[in-house]
Structure 1
């Protein structure tokens, strides 16, 4: 089968012919991959930056966002059957630790990551444990099912608070930030403000329904937010950028007693005046990783099935598998939303 592989400890990837998985453990499932989506972490692996160097051990197949059809099942598999339409959680839980045993598999103590710790989804077939599979509603097109994993990030980060009638600031409008705009609107937010500096992504914010888009590189974000909220500040900040200044600005913009949901990942230590920005404001701060398994998946599935969220406004490119290099180039350039590869 064809697969996109990291074969050496250097920049770049290669498409190779490799042996299709054959032997299945009792709890494993073989999935024929139909669509797969490129994630920012895949770009890190392509570039072979510090994160990739500390996490990836070549040779291996990368990729973790996909949708497909069950091809074969191990003898103990009882949650899916051959022919089922599935997507997958990228977090592979141990199912034995304290977190797993208390309904929090998404923060498993001994977690492995698909396409990072084991062979991933940029291949015509993938072998995965049954515990990570989600049966997708048939009404959801494959290209949108393939991005349910990052969509789940948006759902989890956005819905930590009841947003009915609330004002919301989303800092950073990459694909997940764009998804979060739609989720916030679907959840009943009264005002959704997006903060973004890149021109393409400012347009992405508008297309996905942001009421106001502010460029903090040329506007005073705090001043504009205060003006838009009658002097109060927003009820909820959703930090998607991983930019330290965006986080600090968000903390300034949130009202007293408000909430801050942090999905962004920072490449360096963040210094925050906790007393002034958090404690004395009485804020709730949520750290977001992954998706609740499988509460978030149920919500994501229903939002897409009912068309309350339209991912055609986020999936900007669908390309043949053989054109994977073009997909990575678009991702590096940044003038794109989600890029989906047609595998089979």
Structure 2
């Protein structure tokens, strides 16, 4: 089968011919991939940022945002059957460790992470397990939802976690209205009562943000201008700043956009959060990390998607054009999410 493989860090991945995955255990599920999302994490994987955390053996197949159709199942699988349309939670969890037992399967002690430490879904077929697959409602197509498996799930997880603090009259600031951020905006509009201000350097992204539920938008020019505009709009700072960028200075600006007692939710990454301890304690601010969401988060997000309350904005590419898609993502030419279709 055709697959996009990373052979060496800091070099472009290649389209190769590789053996097809096969069922080897009772909980295995083989999926015909209908679509695989391209994520900024894939750029960081290629750069080698995840090597120290995930220790993958190169070469391996990229792609951790995947949806498709069930092709084959192991003997113990009963929650899906051949032909079902499914989206995959990014992790294949064990169900037995303490984290899994309390529903925190994204922190599973025995998980594999297709696309990060084992073969992923930028290929014609993917091997996952029964605990990772979510059956999709009729009418949802893989190419329209694949990137919700990570970008959407991560954004929704952050919003879902913050929802108790976003009561009527509260204010949320969203930094970055791209692949993650545009789902975050819709999630905020769907599950909270917060007033939403969106900051982005792209006027097109801000136009999309207004369509998706943003009450205010701020064009990201210089930090001082952004800070002044946001503080004016929010009356002194937001309750929560959702940083979907996490690098290139956004991570340093976010704490300046919240009021005393507010929270900086870190979702994007690549940069470095630096705060004086006296600022943290005197302002009583919080810095909150956000990993990919749980299986339950993904089920809830799919329900919102089926209801039409969350929609993924995409640009599709054939699998062969993976490096064109990567170039567009790196250059900021993508509005929404890049989707590879085998």
TM-score (ref. length: structure 2): 0.89
Contact 2:155 2:181 in 1 (8 A): yes
- Is the aligned partner of 1:299 residue 2:300? yes
Q: Which stretches in structure 2 are left out of the alignment for 5+ residues?
A: none
Cα distance, 1:42 vs structure 2: 2.0
Q: Which moved more, 1:150-159 or 1:55-64?
A: 55-64
Which residue in 1 is equivalent to 2:253? 249
Which residue in 2 is equivalent to 1:326? 324
- Is the aligned partner of 1:273 residue 2:276? yes
Distance 1:110 1:27, change over 3 A: closer
- Is the aligned partner of 1:51 residue 2:49? yes
Which residue in 2 is equivalent to 1:339? 338
Contact 2:242 2:265 in 1 (8 A): yes
Contact 1:86 1:135 in 2 (8 A): yes
Contact 2:86 2:142 in 1 (8 A): no
Cα distance, 1:32 vs structure 2: 0.8
Which residue in 2 is equivalent to 1:41? 41
For residues 14-66 of structure 1, the C-alpha deviation after alignment (integer angstroms, 9 at most, x for no partner) is 11222222343111011111111111122334xx4231554442121111111
Which residue in 2 is equivalent to 1:121? 121
Once residues 141 and 27 of structure 1 are traced to their aligned partners in structure 2, the CA distance between those partners, rounded to angstroms, is 24
Contact 2:29 2:70 in 1 (8 A): yes
Distance 1:325 1:243, change over 3 A: closer
Which residue in 2 is equivalent to 1:167? 171
Distance 1:283 1:271, change over 3 A: closer
For residues 297-320 of structure 1, the C-alpha deviation after alignment (integer angstroms, 9 at most, x for no partner) is 122011111111222xx21x1222
Distance 1:225 1:342, change over 3 A: same
For residues 197-245 of structure 1, the C-alpha deviation after alignment (integer angstroms, 9 at most, x for no partner) is 345544443443422222343352332222112x342122111111274
Once residues 114 and 272 of structure 1 are traced to their aligned partners in structure 2, the CA distance between those partners, rounded to angstroms, is 34
Distance 1:101 1:190, change over 3 A: closer
TM-score (ref. length: structure 1): 0.88
Secondary structure of 1:35 counterpart: strand
Which residue in 2 is equivalent to 1:234? 238
The match for 1:193 among 197, 205, 208 is 197
Q: Which moved more, 1:201-210 or 1:301-310?
A: 201-210
Contact 2:249 2:271 in 1 (8 A): no
Distance 1:53 1:81, change over 3 A: same
Once residues 243 and 88 of structure 1 are traced to their aligned partners in structure 2, the CA distance between those partners, rounded to angstroms, is 28
Once residues 50 and 21 of structure 1 are traced to their aligned partners in structure 2, the CA distance between those partners, rounded to angstroms, is 25
Distance 1:27 1:111, change over 3 A: closer
Once residues 167 and 143 of structure 2 are traced to their aligned partners in structure 1, the CA distance between those partners, rounded to angstroms, is 30
